[in-house]
Amino acid sequence: MYTKIQKWGNSHAVRLPKAILEKTEIRENDEVEIKLQDGNLLLIPVNQPVKRCSNGVCSGTG
C-alpha cells in the first residue's frame, strides 16, 4: 500500500488508510509514538488496552 506525504499547515502529514486503522485498531485522536529504526519510520500505539484471549474468548477493550 502506498500513500504520499502532504503539506498540512506548517507541517507535513501522512494519511493512514481506513483498512490500516481497522487492522491496528488505531482511532482518531489516539496517541502514537514515532520511531526511526533501521531507516524506517514506525508508528507505535501508546497505552492501547491489551486484549487477552483464552479458548476463543477475549476480554479487554480496544
Residue 50 confidence (pLDDT): 62
The residue ranges of the chain whose pLDDT is under 70 are: 48-52, 59-62
Q: pLDDT tens digit string along 6-23?
A: 999 999 999 999 999 998
Residue bearing cell 520511531 = 35
Residue 13 confidence (pLDDT): 94
Cell matching residue 51: 486484549
| Domains of the chain listed by start with CATH number | 5-59 (2.10.260.10)
d(C-alpha 24, C-alpha 41), whole Å: 16
Residue 60 confidence (pLDDT): 62
